[in-house]
Structure 1
Amino acid sequence: MVGSSGEYAIIAPMRVLLVASPAHATVARFTPTLATLAAQGCSIEACLPLSSELTREGIPHVALGDSELDAALRGLTDGDLLIAPLAGPAALGAVAHVIGRGAGAPLLLVDANDAGDLVGSLAMARDGGTVGAAVRERLIQSAAFALASVLAPAARGNDEFPERQLLLLERVRTFQHGENPHQRAAAYQHALRNRAGVLGAQLVQGSEPTLNDVLDLDAGARLVADLPIPSAALIRHTDPIGVATAETPLGALKRALGTDHAAASGAIVALNMPIDRAVAVEIASGSYEAVVAPGVADESAA
């Protein structure tokens, strides 16, 4: 492989090293990729426990013992590829080794969802194109994130308030601008938790909220979550304009509006109970940026 300016052109057959636990279901997802690479003339090498599985799938390969596997890993160049779904200590160690090598490290694939882009890039390289630095960086980032996801629970331990922990975030969405038009912004959430809160809410009607809307919606949802049911709050610039509780959802909303009805225009409405028809009619009679609630009690209210 030769390269300049961060781009690489394949000029020799690629070595592909597969390191994984045969008992892990993820391995089967790489079978089509391995078959494609073998058909393109790549040399497939795999740790010994995987040999029978690859043979059953009709993929030509060389089976490697533990000592041979270690030497093969160290011998991979930037023109080669390591496939290592994170299952078992061997795969974890191999991925950490490649990430730690930096310059001159082989291509790295840990997620079968990234295989399509990789195979496409390799096909372009064989036709005289290049495998760019951006492809390599994206694969390394994917592998590093996957590795950190495996290690994060161990780093945290079982303590309620651990001394150290890894905080892994994934981007949920980007915004047209930040709090001000000249700023850029994106929203992230915990990667190891189910999506919850405002960012995990279902959009029932209207356009995607802006960053300022999301900040206000989050502030409102957190506020009413600590209040008796039913309660309502009106929020602008993350500050409450009106907050109230009452016997009925409509009563709570009207009380909140009554604190400063003029300032409520353009605010967000936060409720801690599903929106019923009476509440929907009241909201429709005003002008608000967005509404957040646990649900819609009557589908016709949406």
Structure 2
Amino acid sequence: MCIFWPPRLVLAMLVPILVTSEYEYLGWKDLGDSYGKSPQCMDIPEDLRLCYTVGYHRMLLPNLLEHETMAEVKQQAGSWVPLVHKRCHSGTQVFLCSLFAPVCLDRPIYPCRKLCESVRDSCTPIMEAFGFPWPEMLNCSKFPQDDLCISTNTTDMPPSPDDSPACPPCENEMSPEVILEHMCASEFAIKTKIKEAKIENLDKKLILQKRRKTVSGNLNKEELKKLVLYLKNGADCPCQQLENLGNTYLIMGRKAGKRYLLTGIHKWDKSSKEVKKALKKLKSHKCPVYETVFK
């Protein structure tokens, strides 16, 4: 039995259902010491950005990912906010929040495997563009197929072209928030011009001009000198910033295997208040720790 979201008090009316031994649902009170701390129902705080607008206001802690403190939930959940903003699937927020901030019931209700697979298949290309794999903690085989679970009415619907940017690193919204998200998903940022952009297999390869200035990160002189960036799976995707190679850009990237991936590119304009604000905010901004989640 699937629960189509938003639940709107329907969850509270559900009666106990017999389930198979393959995936047993236990009441919260039955979880005992094996679950850790006794579960508590509490308000979803406003600074839990991933789930504050999900459609309900109370959540259980510990959650279904075994996070026992709100501080841990916020740190881990913060890593996923940029993915929701990419709109790779309409059910991304529902799927993630069913685990990070489960709705208050007398038993844990997990997301349906079909929902997990749909979100995974739609969003993995976006994540891979930034050098992150789909994490093992969200292995879809862990979730139920036919039992009581959370789904959405749009599970089988792929994102529309308007909802899913073809080249996530090329998102051209010049706002401090977007620039900060790209900076946080990156290991370094440099100021430079692009000499050439060419196709290599399914990727787009960026050859940089010799003059390069480090803005953030820890690239050494030799790495900076030899730096070549790849726009993963970007052979055919549009990237407005690469249409005029005469401009100076703030270019962000991270190492994935033996390659350096482009994770963000924004035009560097001396009069750009957005870039200046983003760089100023970066000094005090606390980025999500992606490496603790995407591994």
TM-score (norm 2): 0.23
Question: Normalized per residue, which structure has more helix?
Answer: 1
TM-score (norm 1): 0.22
